[in-house]
Chains A and B, each alone.
Chain A
Amino acid sequence: AQTVTQSQPEMSVQEAETVTLSCTYDTSESNYYLFWYKQPPSRQMILVIRQEAYKQQNATENRFSVNFQKAAKSFSLKISDSQLGDTAMYFCAFMKHGPSGTYKYIFGTGTRLKVLA
C-alpha cells in the first residue's frame, strides 16, 4: 500500500523568504502523480502544483516549484518570495490509477506553514 509522509508538522518563514516543505512517499508503482494542495484556514483545498512521475522535469507554478526525486521517492515543495497569503496547511498527495480508469488520492498528514510579517 502506498504511504505519504510529511515529517514537518509545522514551519514558519519570514515574508519574502524561501521555504521548502518535505514529502516522501512509498510505492512500487512506476506511473503515478504527485500533488501539493494548500488548505487555508477557510478550509477550501486548493491545488498548488502537480507532477507526473514519468516527467523528469520539475514542475513550476509561479513562486511554487517542486524538487522531484523519483529514485529517492521524495517530492518537496519550494515556495519563493513567501507572502502572508501563503499561510495555510499544505498537503502532499499521491495518486495512481486503479481499475476501469478509477483512481484515489493518498494524502500526507500535512505541514502547517505560517508566514511571518
Chain B
Amino acid sequence: DAGVTQSPTHLIKTRGQQVTLRCSPKSGHDTVSWYQQALGQGPQFIFQYYEEEERQRGNFPDRFSGHQFPNYSSELNVNALLLGDSALYLCASSLAGTGGDTQYFGPGTRLTVL
C-alpha cells in the first residue's frame, strides 16, 4: 500500500523565484492538504483540495497556489519567494466522508530560500 509521497526532498531557491512542489496521495485517498512547518513549529494549514478544487484555505497570501489533478495528485506553487518561505512543506491525504478524515502525511519537502 503506497503511502503519501512528495518530491523533491530538498530544494534551494533564491528570493523572487517560483517553486513547485508535488504530492501523490496515499492509495485510495482523494483529498490533499498542504501545510507549512517552520523550524521548531507545528504545521500551519495552507489549503485543501478535493475534486480538483480548493475547498478551504488557511491564512496564506495569494502567492501560494495549488492544483489537484484527476488522479488526485497535487501541486503547491509559491511565487515571488521570500526568505520567510523557508520551511518544511508537508502534504497530507485522506479519504473524504470517512468520518474524522484522518490525515496521513508525506515525508515533506525542505525548501530553503536564499
- Sorting the interface of chain B by its residue count into under 10, 10 to 19, 20 to 34 or 35 or more gives 20 to 34
A91 touches B42 (CB 8 A): yes
B23 within 8 A of A: no
A105 touches B45 (CB 8 A): yes
CB contacts (< 8 Å) of A93 on chain B: these are: 42
Mark B45-61 against chain A: 1 for CB-CB distance below 8 A, else 0: 10010100001101000
Provide the bound-state CA to CA distance between A50 and B94, in Å.
14
Interface size on A, residues (CB 8 A): 29
Mark A90-117 against chain B: 1 for CB-CB distance below 8 A, else 0: 0101010111111111111110000000
Q: Which residues from chain B sit less than 8 Å from chain A, CB to CB? A: 33, 35, 40-45, 48, 50, 55-56, 58, 88, 90, 92, 96-97, 100-108
